[in-house]
Amino acid sequence: MIVSLVLSVFVSLAPGYTASFKQICAFGDSLTDTGNLYNATFGITPDSAHYYLGRFSNGPVWVEYFDQLGGGVPLQVFAYGGARTGNEAMPLGLLSQVQVFVQTTPIYPETLLTIWAGANDFFMGDGDFHKSVRNIMAALELLATHGAKMILVMNLVDLGATPALNRDPAAANAGRTFPLLFNDDLKREIAEFRARHPWIKLDLFDTFSAFRDLLAHPGVFGFRNTTDPCPSYGHDFSNRYGYVFWDDRHPTTEAHSVLARMVFNAFYHDVTQAPASSSSGQKQPRKPVQDDMNSDMLEGR
């Protein structure tokens, strides 16, 4: 079931459909990194025996699936595994990524800019969620100054649900509290940003709720285990047992694909769905993902 679900996600839109964006530039941490940290460390991190082609997973990450759903437009990823939200030098923090980007890359009206960061400020930082949100807002202001017109921001998931924390009640509670405070602060700040920049289409995706729904209804999405690292970790890149998590912090590529579909449907849930390709190569009707689980996850639209 996992295999067929991924195949149904990793397809382009039908001929004639045009996404509202024609380029994607993505910023963030290991949840979005497609090999930047791997290249910067000359193939040391992440370990290629445990992680797929520089991704912190067993396959492509969410933004790659999202890009394919949007038609396979040019994708540039500036995210680094281990990145925090500040101007750290290595791995490049979110602010540093955006600073490098605006100095080297033009922003076109049809460029979609994505930001998903903040988890490492909890895992490796001082836990100051106000500072994390201020860093994200500084990155958004910098992008606005350089002509951004379309931005997607992802809030944080429940970090306490990860295998790294979910077995210790105190740790799990801390891992849940940080994202809740972070997400509330981010939502308020983004509302003010929208008021200052009404010409920018900024969408805030409620990743916390999306991932909560995935964990609460794993069978709907083809998963069996929502609490442990995948037993294939360190052996091969398969997920034959239907695990949500690849290691103790990162999702499997199958979970990434489900998240990408949720994000995509939140943007385009009223658009007629394109036919998906089955594993046999024949066209099959694409079943819409449950609208009650993702159509309301864009906050403030």
Average pLDDT of 114-132? 95
Mean pLDDT of 113-126: 96
- Whether residue 288 is predicted with pLDDT greater than 50 in this model: the reply is no
User: pTM for the whole thing?
Assistant: 0.86
- Coil, strand or helix: which one is 16? coil
Evaluate if residue 152 carries a pLDDT over 50: yes
Residue 95 CA neighbour count, 13 Å, CB half:
15
Give the pLDDT confidence score for residue 126 in this predicted structure. Answer: 87
pLDDT for 273: 35
pLDDT for 140 beyond 50: yes
pLDDT at 299 over 50: yes
Q: Tell me the per-residue pLDDT of 231-259, one tens digit each, with 9 for 90 and over.
A: 999 999 999 999 999 999 999 999 999 99
pLDDT at 213: 96
What pLDDT is attached to residue 296?
57
Range of the domain at 122: 2-299
pLDDT of residue 284: 28
Mean pLDDT of 201-214: 96
**pLDDT greater at residue 269 or residue 250:** 250
Give the chain's domain count.
1
pLDDT, tens digit, 9 for 90 and up, residues 14-57: 333 345 899 999 999 999 999 999 999 999 999 999 999 999 99
Instruction: Tell me the longest C-alpha to C-alpha distance in the chain.
Output: 52
- Residue range 201-220: average pLDDT? 96
Contact 214, 284 (CB under 8 A): no
61 close to 32: Cβ distance less than 8 angstroms: yes
In percent, the amount of the chain with pLDDT more than 70 equals: 83
The answer for residues whose C-beta is within 8 angstroms of residue 142's C-beta and 6 or more apart is 95, 98, 99, 102
User: How does pLDDT run across 159-195, given as a tens digit for each residue?
Assistant: 999 999 999 999 999 999 999 999 999 999 999 999 9
DSSP 228-266: EE-TTTTT-S--TT-EEESSSS-B-HHHHHHHHHHHHHH
| Residue 280 reports pLDDT greater than 70 | no
Mean pLDDT of the chain: 86
CA separation for the pair 207, 299 (Å, rounded): 10
pLDDT at 267: 73
Residue 59 belongs to a domain with what CATH number?
A: 3.40.50.1110
pLDDT digits (tens, 9 = 90+) for 73-105: 999 999 999 999 999 999 999 999 999 999 999
